[in-house]
Amino acid sequence: MDIVYHNGTNGSSPWVEFYPYTPSATAGYAFMAIFGIATVVHLVLMCPFRAAYFIPLVLGGVCETFGYYGRAWSHQSRTEISSWALQEMLILCAPPLLAATVYMVLGRMIRAFDAEHLSSMRPKWLTFVFVMNDVICFLTQLGGAGVQVTGDAQIMDIGKKVVLAGLIFSLFVFALFVAIAVTFHRRLQQNPTPILTMNPDLAWRRYMWTLYVACVALMVRNLVRTIQFGANRTADVNTKEVYIYVFDAFLMFLTMLVLIICHPGLLIKKARRAKKVVDFNQPLAGDRSSGQVPLMEYEPRPMA
């Protein structure tokens, strides 16, 4: 961790140096703008796709936006606790919000494809279990980051360990989720449902790979953050600001970007429409196979 405590000398008050470098205002404002634009785009796309499940991602985008404002603000002073606390809490707490949307997307894709029987976990439980685990990660990291604003050395050390525990737990959750997603992908490829068989234009594989990219980006980010919180404060990961922007800011933006380019809301919307067509046609097919003629196909003979 990159916090250094300085004892007061000659009767002066103790003070804390939160950064071993002067945070870049240019980089901070640049990513503030990038996340702000990406958040607005996602907010706009929620309406036509009826994707209310993207609300956590939008909130995460807001956290990222103001978090990097905090880093730009920290350029003015490396000992200002307000700006440091703003960026520390918001940047740490944003990824669990993005992850919650990824979890909900997979559950909705499974239901939209009418493929519950191919999932290792029922979609209802899939969403509930992983989102609840994500809530635990979120609260853990929020609490760990929150207690660090006290400025007390012992309390801040406890907060660091709490955040570290939350990051490690999130890595296990992500690994389990990816395993379930890959298993579902393989089963669906081997046994496509009628919705996908009758609608090859849905291109569902592209959206599954979009989820994989988002998951890998989140996992790498959490792994680097875990190394950061577990490493000595003199390690490169703590003393060079570039790591924050390459392995946190960029990866979180990549997650938001791929979900804009291949927005799952479009796939789910198309799949739901296709499901209605399949559900409508199946009873008619059943009537034909049983020898019964549907009413809509009956033609009365002309009267003599």
* DSSP string of 208-267, one letter each residue: HHHHHHHHHHHHHHHHHHHHHHHS-TTSHHHH-THHHIIIIIHHHHHHHHHHHHT-HHHH
Considering 31-35, 115-119, 196-200, 282-286, the range whose residues carry the highest mean pLDDT is: 31-35
Please give the single-letter amino acid code of residue 93.
Answer: C
Instruction: Measure the CA–CA gap between 98 and 56, rounded to whole angstroms.
Output: 6
User: Based on the number of CB atoms within 10 Å of its own CB, is 62 exposed (0-12), middle (13-18) or buried (19 or more)?
Assistant: middle
The answer to whether the beta carbons of residues 236 and 274 sit under 8 Å apart is: no
Instruction: Measure the CA–CA gap between 264 and 39, rounded to whole angstroms.
Output: 16
CA quadruple 243, 62, 108, 127: dihedral sign: positive
- Beta bridge partners, 5, equal 16
Would you place residue 15 in the very low, low, confident or very high pLDDT band (cuts 50, 70, 90)? low
The answer to whether the beta carbons of residues 35 and 256 sit under 8 Å apart is: yes
Q: Residue 101's pLDDT is what?
A: 94
Q: Which residue has the tokens 């880093």?
A: 71
Instruction: Measure the CA–CA gap between 106 and 112, rounded to whole angstroms.
Output: 10
Please give the single-letter amino acid code of residue 298.
Answer: Y
Give the rounded percent of residues in the chain with a pLDDT score beyond 70. Answer: 82
Q: What is the 8-class DSSP label of residue 121?
A: S
Which of 13-17, 113-117, 179-183 is predicted least confidently?
13-17
* Terminal Cα distance for the chain, rounded: 95
Residue range 119-176, pLDDT digits in tens: 998 888 888 888 888 788 778 777 766 666 555 667 767 777 788 888 888 888 889 9
Structure tokens at 87: 């960026």
Q: Residue 126's pLDDT is what?
A: 86
